[in-house]
Structure 1
Amino acid sequence: MTGRKDGWAGMGWEGWADHAHVTRRLDEGADPEAWSGGRPLHRAAVWGSPRVVAELAGRVVDVDALEDGTTALWEAVWSDRPDNARALAAAGADPWKPLIGGWSPGRLSLAGPKPDLFAVPEGIRGLSLVERTAARAAARLVAALAGVHYESTSLACVAGIDAEEAIRRLEAAPACSRELEQLREEPWAHNFDASLQIVGVTTVRGGCVVTQPWGYAASTPGVVTRLSAGTLCYGLYSNPKSGNQGRIARNGSLEGSDLHPGGAPTPGDSSEEVLASYLYRHDAAAYACGFPGLRPTDARAVTGPPDMWVELPQRNYWEQ
């Protein structure tokens, strides 16, 4: 059903917070069950106000109806909208309904900033020790990288090796200081192909990070597979045109590509994948560091200055 037929034509994101506007539309015949191929209650859970959420919740057939495998309550928890989540629970939404990866909105909230959002009924399983540990580590990592601007940056986050070993595996050499100074001052005025050979390498807790603040080279298959020999590496390129792109390499081979670090989970994801997506939501750099277990205490490994700038040898890095 299109927006022209469901009564929500022209509805912008900001409109979901306007109770009078939403109520007028509903009274004039807007469909409380459908909006532009989705569900109005799901949009209001993320963008709306508690009053709008309560209004829509009172007009739908099922307050726990699914859209792409999730309920409106899940969307409110995921989007850090606790007031909307409380409004949905008050309207009868079930915080403990298992959804993606077996997680319920209520159990997911236990790992987030509002662990007391819902009272936990007797017999409901809380977080395991492993999950609590992951949540604490993620909170520290997200705080360490807070405010980092990493658009156009690529990373290779590799477990268990230091900067010196990463440089050896990449067969890299120290970068020319004059060329590097020019590149750091005006990266976009530099020869782009030449700039792709320059990366920074920094040792952090748990491993090391290879970074390139102006291009994709650090995340290419040829880099991440070389770094991952006998270990695990997560590559990230924050593409200014198409968004965050992830790549996993393990023991010298690609294990996953065209991934979306920091994005929402999808039906079929494992319990571990759902938790990681929630803990690092909207923070691709933290996800990339956290996936192989790196624990940098500040943003230097991502934004620089690194421990060392090096020049990669000439080769086709799109091949493993």
Structure 2
Amino acid sequence: MVVAEGAGWSGMGWQPWTDLDRIRARLDAGADPDSGEGFDPPPLHLAAQEGSPEVVAELAGRVDDVDAQDEGRTALWRAVYFGRFDNARALVAAGADPWRPMMAGWSPGRLSLAGPTPDLFAPPAGGIGLSDAETAAAAEARRLTAALGDFRDPYDDGMGLACVAGISAAEAARRLEATPIEDTGPGSLPDDLSSHEVLYIVGAADVPGGCVISQPWGYVPSMPEVTDPLSAGTVCYGLYDNPKSGNQGSISRDGVTEDRDLYPGGEPSADDSADEILASYLYRDHAVAYSCAYAGLRLTDARAITSPDVWLHLPSHHYWR
């Protein structure tokens, strides 16, 4: 028999919340159904996100409050956000409230209206719907993520992007004092991607709504020395897919870095705005699409990133402070 220590969930982590027998053994040995281990969310929240409907139902029958919040959201909210709709149904069957207000007005039920299962929950009396702008944002997210598809190496791991609203690739080159590389045939670009020289080479392409500066092998497009001048009079979203720490986002507006160390495509914070929470849901695990959408770019495919219109050589005199 498992002997409970602390809250009784030591060693569980995020897995395996699909093993009903294992979860029952922990609970029967005294594990606390209402308390996580260390910095982990409560068990019901972990099960809602990672587990099975059977485990969710078991925990929901043992907790003090099926709608207890962690970081501003309930277990049901997590189930909806992570697309675990069977778990969401199990929580509602256990008494969870889909329309309980939270997360800047995005209750679990209202959040589901923007996703692939708008009929997941019975509507409340009086009705709760999406605004026209929210409906349009959801439709554009479906279109954009489908248009971009799934990125594969070398266009995801270690890639850098700058998504700029309202300017052309030619204007971006001017702002960056970059020189177009006329000869892009065999041997014209460095073969050694570990060389320092490749950091000065970026791709540029015009897209509906603005332009994209890309670098399949490096972080340079996301540097403030690039995003700040690009954002003069407009907005630029920078993205670096750091192989060590994951996606890193930044916002530059009108020539100034507004925010850094963001997590595009990741779970939102409790203090995020309503628009930020919606975008996080619509572009979950789609960091490139999130970055493009933030700048209002409406790409029709991924060629602007994988096959830029032009390669640019950046000047070396001011890119490393």
TM-score by structure 2 length?
0.93
Candidates 212, 215, 218, aligned match of 2:218: 215
Indicate which of 157, 160, 164 corresponds to 2:170.
164
- Report what 1:312 is aligned to: 314
Which residues in structure 2 correspond to 1:107-146 (within 5 Å)? 107-146=110-149
Task: Name which of structure 1's ranges 129-138 and 222-231 shifts more when overlaid on structure 2.
Answer: 222-231
The aligned runs of 1:109-258 (5 Å cut-off) are 109-149=112-152, 150-175=156-181, 177=183, 181=187, 183=189, 185-188=191-194, 191=195, 193-258=196-261
The question of 1:292 aligning with 2:295 is answered yes
Contact 1:221 1:318 in 2 (8 A): no
> CA shift at 1:311, angstroms?
0.2
Deviations 1:1-35 (A, max 9, x none): xx832222222534210111111221221111112
Q: Deviations over 1:204-261 (max 9, x none)?
A: 1111100011111111111111111111110111111111111111111111111111
Deviations 1:276-315 (A, max 9, x none): 111111111111100011011111122x210000101123
State how far apart, in whole Å, the 1-side matches of 2:184 and 2:304 are: 22
**Partner secondary structure for residue 238 of structure 2:** strand
Q: How many pairs were matched up?
A: 313
Other-structure match for 1:30: 31
Between the aligned partners of 1:286 and 1:74, the Cα distance in structure 2 is 23
Secondary structure of the structure 2 residue equivalent to 1:255: strand
CA distance in 1, matches of 2:290, 2:17: 30
**Could you tell me how far apart the structure 1 residues matched to 2:269 and 2:186 are?**
42
- The offset of 1:185, in angstroms, is 4.8
Deviations 1:137-163 (CA, angstroms, capped at 9, x unpaired):
011111122211312011000011121
| Cα pair distance change 1:178/1:161, threshold 3 Å | closer
1:72-83 alignment to 2 at 5 Å? 72-83=75-86
Residue among 259, 277, 282 paired with 2:280: 277
Please tell me the residue identity of whatever aligns with 2:29.
E
SS where residue 177 of structure 1 aligns? coil
Q: Within 2, Cα distance between the matches of 1:185 and 1:139?
A: 37
Question: Partner residue of 1:6?
Answer: 7
- Quote the Cα distance in structure 2 between the aligned partners of 1:184 and 1:277: 36
Alpha-carbon distance in structure 2 between the residues aligned to 1:221 and 1:12: 36
Could you tell me which amino acid in structure 2 is paired with residue 307 of structure 1? D
2:49 equivalent to 1:46: yes
More helix by share: 1
| Distance 1:317-1:253 versus aligned 2 partners, 3 A rule | same
> What SS does the corresponding residue of 2:206 show, helix, strand or coil?
strand
Residue aligning to 1:99: 102
Q: Unpaired segments of 5 or more residues in structure 2?
A: none
1:53-97 alpha-carbon deviations (Å, 9 max, x no partner)? 001000001000011111100110111000000100111111111
Letter in 1 for 2:35: A
Deviations 1:96-119 (A, max 9, x none): 111111210110111111111111
Equivalent residue letter for 2:16: G
Shift of residue 176 of structure 1? 6.4
Q: What SS is found at the alignment partner of 2:62? A: coil
Secondary structure of the corresponding residue to residue 104 of structure 2: helix
Counterpart in the other structure of 2:17: 16
Residue identity in the other structure for 2:261: D
Quickly say closer, same or farther: Cα 1:186–1:317, change in 2 above 3 A.
closer
Cα distance, 1:123 vs structure 2: 1.9
One-letter amino acid of the structure 1 residue matched with residue 174 of structure 2: R
| 1:13–1:47 CA contact under 8 A, matched in 2 | yes
Q: Could you say what the CA RMSD is over the residues aligned between the two structures, in angstroms?
A: 1.7
Letter in structure 2 aligned against 1:267? A
Partners of 2:109 and 2:184 in 1: CA distance: 55
- Counterpart contact for 2:179–2:312, Cα < 8 Å: yes
Q: Residue type matched to 1:121 in 2? A: P
Aligned-partner Cα distance in 2 for 1:225–1:187: 26
Q: CA deviation at 1:201?
A: 0.2
Question: Would you say the 8 A contact 2:99–2:124 is kept in 1?
Answer: no
